[in-house]
Amino acid sequence: MFSYAIQTHIVFGDGVVERLADHLVEQGFGRRLLVVTDPGLVRAGVADRVLDLLSGAGFVPRVFAGVKPNPDESVCAAGRDAFLEHRADGVVAVGGGSSLDAGKAIALLARQGGAPSDYARNRRPYGPPAPVCAVPTTAGTGSEVTRSAVITEQRTHQKLTLKHAFLRPALAVCDPALTASLPADVTAHTGVDALVHAIEGATCTLAHPIARAYAREALGLLFRALPAAVRSGDPASRHDMLLGSLLAGLAFGSTDVASVHCLAEALGSLYETPHGLANAVMLLPVLRYNLPYAREGYAWAARAMGLAGDPDDDARAAEALVEGVGAWLQDIGIPKLRELPGVRPSDFDELARLAQDNSSTPSNPRPMTEADYRAVLEMAYAE
Ligand SMILES: [Fe+2]
């Protein structure tokens, strides 16, 4: 049994951001808008460009550029205050996963009150947020079409996942040109995050045929396009990466992620490791650990990525996924766990506890205890 629904209106293509205002009007957004973004995009001139596009069409925008990587509850509270002061009607979130997730949380808090942890810890029921338009500037997050937002709880430093259909943006404006100037390392890290969304979304315990249909297309696109996007960043590879990331978002957005994300979010909690990089580092160790429990799913993924053919039996195809992904990660320059700043084996108990506590742990194809997570961390550190 599965159920599937998505209410996000998606606009995709080179140059679509130029008609951002038209898309907002078509979807019934009010005039007063809070543009949620980060200081880097302000420096890069992207925030000003969005402001011009909106002001020129009669909207009354205000920028909130307080988003930082791994956004916490104070970022969301400041954004909510900016929304209320501006008497905004809706949010336009522009950026990577941090800005999109913060934008979704701000729109919820502005209309429904409370703090992010109240929702994630079931102390407060979700209700309709202010309408959100998501404009991704990285090819990785998929947050433009998902029902979740990851926010760090200040008290515990834990990454909390807010998850409800209400959190899906009303509008996603996906313009590959906005990703053109991403540096090679950010392209690599966010791109691997997208691939992990497709693998985990399609092979977790909640996977269903619609998620697999999206993920199959996503895996083919992402696996082919990322090395070129990292090396040259040509428009064709940028296009395929953003499309692959969107499709991966549609895949895991109705199922879940799994243990790669649980460990990545633990690393983010303890060391502020950027989300994409943390996922990229943990992908191979988790694939290896899950392998005996995920043969069918991993064989399916290997075939979608062109790493195995139909005649290969599942055991051989699943092995080909692990080998192929390992070589691919090396090719695009992903570091090993021990090379990440701050990582110490003395923290592994804490990391394992945080990962096991993650709400996506039950979705992993292999049942995971704290001891299992510790074993994965030790294996990864020894590589
Ligand atoms: Fe992710």
How many whole angstroms from 232 Cα to the centroid of ligand 1? 24
Residues 312 and 173 in one domain: no
Instruction: Compute the mean pLDDT over every residue in the chain, rounded to the nearest whole number.
Output: 96
CA distance 151 to 140: 17
How many whole angstroms from 313 Cα to the centroid of ligand 1? 30
Residues 165 and 218 in one domain: no
Residues 202 and 276 in one domain: yes
In a domain, 73, yes or no: yes
Q: DSSP class of residue 7?
A: -
How many whole angstroms from 59 Cα to the centroid of ligand 1? 32
Helix, strand, or coil here: 294?
coil
How many whole angstroms from 87 Cα to the centroid of ligand 1? 32
Classify the C-alpha dihedral 372-350-253-236 as positive or negative: negative
Residue 99 has pLDDT above 90, yes or no: yes
**What is the arithmetic mean of pLDDT over 364-369?**
98
Residue 169 has pLDDT above 90, yes or no: yes
How many whole angstroms from 19 Cα to the centroid of ligand 1? 28
Q: Which amino acid is at 359?
A: S
How many whole angstroms from 261 Cα to the centroid of ligand 1? 6
How many whole angstroms from 147 Cα to the centroid of ligand 1? 13
**pLDDT exceeding 70 applies to what percent of the chain?**
100
Residue 46 has pLDDT above 90, yes or no: yes
* Domain stops at, among 149, 164, 179: 179
**What is the arithmetic mean of pLDDT over 99-120?**
98
How many whole angstroms from 227 Cα to the centroid of ligand 1? 19
DSSP bridge pairs for 148: 163
How many whole angstroms from 56 Cα to the centroid of ligand 1? 34
How many independent structural domains does the chain possess? 2
Residues 188 and 279 in one domain: yes
E strand residue ranges, the chain: 9-12, 32-36, 60-64, 90-95, 132-136, 148-152, 159-163, 171-174
Distances (CA, A) of 84 to 54, 58, 90: 19, 20, 10
Residue 158 has pLDDT above 90, yes or no: no
Per-residue H/E/C for 132-193: EEEEECCCCCCHHHCCEEEEECCCCCCEEEEECHHHCCCEEEECHHHHCCCCHHHHHHHHHH
How many whole angstroms from 69 Cα to the centroid of ligand 1? 13
Q: φ, ψ for residue 97 (rounded to 5)?
A: -60, -35
**Domain ranges, residue 372:** 184-382
**What is the arithmetic mean of pLDDT over 304-317?**
92
Burial of 355: CB neighbours in 10 Å, binned 0-12, 13-18, 19+: buried
* Domain stops at, among 151, 179, 207: 179
Residues 22 and 54 in one domain: yes
How many whole angstroms from 240 Cα to the centroid of ligand 1? 18
How many whole angstroms from 158 Cα to the centroid of ligand 1? 16
How many whole angstroms from 340 Cα to the centroid of ligand 1? 18
pLDDT of residue 3: 87
* Domain stops at, among 137, 154, 179: 179
Q: Which of 68-72, 225-229, 301-305 has the lowest mean pLDDT?
A: 68-72
In a domain, 1, yes or no: no
How many whole angstroms from 86 Cα to the centroid of ligand 1? 31
Per-residue pLDDT reduced to its tens digit, 139-148? 999 999 999 9
How many whole angstroms from 199 Cα to the centroid of ligand 1? 11
How many whole angstroms from 115 Cα to the centroid of ligand 1? 22
How many whole angstroms from 156 Cα to the centroid of ligand 1? 21
Residue 312 has pLDDT above 90, yes or no: no
Question: 2 pLDDT band (50/70/90 cuts)?
Answer: confident
Residues 155 and 201 in one domain: no
pLDDT of residue 188: 98
E strand residue ranges, 189-262: none
Residues 131 and 100 in one domain: yes
CA distance 73 to 342: 23
How many whole angstroms from 85 Cα to the centroid of ligand 1? 32
CA distance 331 to 369: 32
The answer to whether 240 and 195 are in contact (CB under 8 A) is: no
Residues 107 and 203 in one domain: no
How many whole angstroms from 6 Cα to the centroid of ligand 1? 19
Per-residue pLDDT reduced to its tens digit, 177-205? 999 989 999 999 999 999 999 999 999 99
Residue 93 has pLDDT above 90, yes or no: yes
